[in-house]
Structure 1
Amino acid sequence: MATVHVGGQPLPGTFTNHFLAHLQVATAARFASGKGFFLTTTDAGDDGTERTVSHWLHPGLPVSFAFDVSDGSGGRVAPEALQANEIQEITAAMDTPNGVRGSDGLWWPFTEGS
């Protein structure tokens, strides 16, 4: 499973190579400007209850992206074709309080008021 590591620890969440490839490019641009962002994922708490967790990623923290290189049958996974519009969507989400959605079916902890 593709993963994001911060400070050497894997973040909870289910990530695809496609999502991580786009996130890596957007993160590099964000960090180059000296800014951080939230990556919001879901995981199971200690009691097994599903929870939403927002992780603060910042250029001062070591962040790594681990991609799947083989599929379940041992075949090689094809490289991801980057889509500029998807990178722009992630970059725009970095400017919001909820941050980037890192998991499908994510429950947002709050909404932005008007």
Structure 2
Amino acid sequence: MGTFYYGDSGTPIGIDDRALAHVKIAITTKLRRGESFTLSWRHADDQPRGRTTIWLHPSIPVRFVFDEPEAPELNRDWLEELMRSANSTGGIQLVPEHLDTGPIPVPADQPVQIGVDVQEITGDGRPGNG
């Protein structure tokens, strides 16, 4: 379980490492652009029923702490879904990852590319900023 610290609040926000790795990309992309937005999520089953929304602004410090020392491989579809919500009036909606467990058709003459080009997702055009 990773931890997200927002501002000077001593209350950490627990988020699964894999989800935190994805939302970190969406948050840092927006903040790097100087954009303010909201981040919303449903409470975990072990918490009181409900949901939480926080307002993120570039002048408010954030910190991401991961339990796992290695970064997970990122799911391009999930990142794109988070970025779409980040650019909407509702802000980032931390939604569960949807995994396609069916076979992936790959033509025999096509190379298989694994991984995510964050520069392509963020569209900032600057190398090494992902």
Q: What is the one-letter code of the residue matched to 1:62?
A: P
For 1:20, what is the secondary structure of its paired residue? helix
SS, match of residue 50 in structure 1: coil
Map of 2:66 onto structure 1: 67
Return 5+ residue gaps in structure 1 as ranges.
Answer: 70-76, 105-114
| TM-superposition CA deviations, 1:32-77 (whole Å, max 9, x none) | 1110221112449xxx8523221011111101111113xxxxxxx6
Q: Call closer, same or farther: CA 1:51–1:78 in 2, change over 3 Å.
A: same
Is the strand fraction higher in 1 or 2?
A: 1
**1:6 Cα offset (Å):** 0.6
**Identity of paired residues, percent?**
25
Larger Rg: 2
Deviating above 6 A after TM superposition, structure 1's stretches of 4 or more consecutive aligned residues are none
The 8 Å contact of residues 36 and 58 in structure 1, kept in 2 or not, is answered as yes
Alpha-carbon spacing, 1:53–1:94, altered in 2? closer, same or farther (3 Å): same
TM-score, with normalisation over the residues of structure 1? 0.65
Partner of 2:24 in structure 1?
24
For 2:8 and 2:65, the matched residues in 1 are separated by 11
User: Aligned equivalents of 2:57 and 2:29: distance in 1?
Assistant: 12
How much is the aligned-residue C-alpha RMSD, in angstroms?
2.5
With normalisation by structure 2, the TM-score equals 0.58
Unaligned runs of 5+ in 2: 97-130
Shift of 1:8: 3.4
